[in-house]
Structure 1
């Protein structure tokens, strides 16, 4: 995981049926993430988007964080 990836702690998540989710993007600040989520809500009115805090654990290796769907 690069240093830049470690700085992005806020994630915009799209909630899908059957308790699945997709990480749309990660952001450094909550306000940036919320602004992006609001834009996504306007573009995809039937989608459900949330902003979550996603702390980075130093002991995770590259690829251990999952692809977003079902992770």
Structure 2
């Protein structure tokens, strides 16, 4: 996750068939993401969108994998 993505954790995703999703826009504040979601939902009523909050976590260096993980939680759907 880039530094710019860390600064803007609120993400509006376009929900597609087969449980796929595409990031449409990133925002620093939740109310900005909600306003954008409302606008884009009015412009494209046949599409489905969701807001998520991306959390970037570094695992401890002593962990078995030493990998990085990303946790997303759906906040709002339209």
* TM-score, normalising length: structure 1: 0.73
1:35 corresponds to: 35
2:15 corresponds to: 15
Alignment of 1:1-71 (within 5 A): 1-2=2-3, 4-57=4-57
Structure with bigger RCO (C-alpha 8 Å, 6+ apart): 1
Segments of 5+ residues of structure 1 without an aligned counterpart are 61-71
Tell me which protein shows more strand as a share of its residues. Answer: 2
Distance in 2 (alpha carbons) for counterparts of 1:10 and 1:47: 19
- Counting matched residue pairs gives 59
Work out which of the two has the higher radius of gyration on C-alpha atoms and give 1 or 2.
2
1:13 positional shift: 0.7
1:55 positional shift: 1.3
State the Cα RMSD in Å: 1.5
Distance in 2 (alpha carbons) for counterparts of 1:5 and 1:22: 15
